[in-house]
Structure 1
Amino acid sequence: MLAVYTVLLGLSVLSTLTQNVNGGCSMTINDPAPLILTSFGSKHLLSAAPSQLLRENYESVQMYCAGGFDGIYTDRNYYNHRQFNSENTTRTFSCGSDSFVVNMENEPELLAQSVSCRGTMVSQLFESRKSLPDCEDHMTLVVGQDFGAIGSIKSAGICYDIVGSELKYVSYTACPLKNRIIEKMQPGELNGLGLDINVAYTKSLFKAVSPTTIGAYLEHDKQLKQLLGGVTFEHTSLVQDEAIRSQLAGYEDMLSVVWLRTLRTGNWRNWLYALHAASQPAGSKFDIRLGVSGQVALPQMGGCNASRILSIDLDNGSTLSVPAHIWAHVRDLHPTGNPQDELVVIGHNSPFFKGEKMSDFCPTMCDQVAWMKNSLFGSLLDYPAYGLVQCCRVQDVAHKLDNFPGGTSGGVVASSTAIPPPGESGSVASA
């Protein structure tokens, strides 16, 4: 295993060197950037492309884009700059006579000046005939790449209620390596899922929310402005692990939820840093499931019946709920018999949740997990300014969390001191 990692590390360094290459080729890589497919003996590796791709003469590079390629090309005399596109998911660019050459259908040999992926998707979307746990009544979707005979890479599994347009949970395996090996099998829960049905992703099926929508709504509502002040919430992907999030580019509308900003940028990010440190090549590998639970309720204000569930009105007439909790089910693929083998990390997504109530939610156990305790996360998790996060045993919270595999459908209704009476859910009314 150490030898394979040494090879991967060497290839990663070589792929990011920006030195001048005498008698070589250079090509600009634009976003969304293709992935580079490299064969090294019996191994096939997938890695990110640098912003400027360099190769020596007579070297070739194979690239992958889920939706095909866009690029700027010229002829041999460097005249007639024009845009060209291809629907092929893989393309080979060969360095010859100091220029990257690509052969297109029904076209003469062209010199590639720049290249990017068509559309916004970096990976393909499939439906698996085998379901994720507790997802039999919904769709099990897989984001990844299919390379036929040599294998595949599955980046994430998604349990999605297409009828209700609701994300149930996301599953992935924490993997910090920049170079990923294409294999017939891969560690973790995703291995059992199939790339059975190619899905044509259609943005119109999902709720698109402008980045300014939430701020504008909170600014317009006087009560909320008084309670929440400035930028408190934001709508962005549930998956905040950058190593995985980059592979899910283009699917944000399906994966986004309303985050408490201090939580997302504070202790949630800190625990992900701790997870990555524990997931280094010589460390552990973890299966992660992510979901949301409950809805944030507003506290009562003097003389005003404002004890209602917080929701945000959208321009299309629908509403956007604000989850009370963000949860992550963490499972070590190589259990040791210690408490850290399996736990649930819960981020309290409400600015009204009181720290002294965490013990009512579950007996916290972050200090029993070595890779958390000895990290920045372990030092700051009790500070509300960074977002309140706690660690729980599965049996203590599975029945309390919405959409938790193996739990119940009850869920935690709200997280503030005020629980709205029946029939009063919806947007906050003015006093």
Structure 2
Amino acid sequence: MKKSLVALAALAVAGVASAQSSVTLFGVVDASISGYSATARDNRATVFPNQFGIPTYLNQGSVKTSSTQLANSGYNSSRIGFRGTEDLGGGLAASFWLEAPITNDDGQTGVSTFARRSTVSLSGGFGELRLGRDYTPTFWNDTVFDPFGTNGVGTNLIFTAANAFGNFAPTAAATPGVARIPNVSGNNTTRASNTVGYFLPPNLGGFYGQVMYGFSEQTKYDNGVFTPNAANNSRAGRYVGGRFGYANGPLDVALAYGSSTVGDQYFAGVTTKVNTLNLGASYDFGPVKLFGEVSKIKNKNDYEVTPLLGGRPDIDLTGYLLGVTVPVGAGLIRAAYSHVKYDTNQPFDYFNPANNLDPKANKLAIGYVHNLSKRTALYATIARISNKNGSSLTVGGPAFYAAGTTFTPKSSTGYDFGIRHAF
């Protein structure tokens, strides 16, 4: 009897092992020597005459803040992850994906969170149903159609500005008593938590798509008058979005939209949302591959009762990207130009004409990747941002000195020289 039970247990274990198609450990270790600088300038007049005839020198020139670092993720984001698939039969499969960020430059951040992705899914002929923390639909257009893949100093301005455009959702509480364990941010620019996503099956003749809904997980009160008088307490963190595209041969084009609730003040009757619409495309001619993206992002307040003076106007952010990659033997030349412009939709200021100018910025990035093998590459990137009319975007590193006061942000420059190894 005991032998029979042992045999049955062995068969059961063997059955589970055979059903588990694959479990994979994977990751990227990317390190670079990176330099950053940001220059702010005093735009006031050099000499201010006064009634005593003694010149008063007001202009303080410019101030440059700079830093040189051993950084990570200059070409690909450093990470470590586990993924697996189980064949359930009948065309069904169950999968999981757990991926953690790592900071290999100092070793402080390891497998402390799976903030990059943590999902479980069921797939088949119907497509894929995926649950957990995952990339947002609009992020895919930012990274897929950027020659620099939203990594390092070459990251396009659309993505940089979107990250700084608003607090997309509340940040998770700090981990008590533990240093340098990163919190899982609620910023929905790249990823959203607590999501349910659906992906179309891959056999649609080149058409692909996804939709995503992220729960706010906030407490609701019925009757609503019992809702606590606290800001951002009802729907903040909720996300809804989708992406649909077509990829066939050298062409890839996709349209995406996402809406993130960043604040919901019940008693004030104000809900703040950040809505993103972007269109990206690439075409591979062989000798060169061209990239392009246009994006429009709106930070808007929805009022239950519109204030007498109209409330805060919407803030619009528009941007575009033009990029190219050129294969050269075992290497790849990368270049991109991106531009963003803000519109605060404020009334015309007759007394301060400078306030009527829209903040804007341009960025040029050039880089080279040399593949030593399929998994190991050396890379170099340089980039420069020119800010105008109060825009204060940087390539990374330190912020502008006294931005928004006497000194006006002007230019930001950076470089990455590094090595990437994937496993």
User: What range describes the TM-score normalised by the shorter chain of this pair?
Assistant: under 0.3
Return the TM-score normalized by structure 2. Answer: 0.27
The structure with the largest alpha-carbon Rg is: 2
Higher strand share: 2
Higher helix share: 1
Return the TM-score normalized by structure 1. Answer: 0.26
Relative contact order higher in (CA < 8 Å, ≥ 6 apart): 2
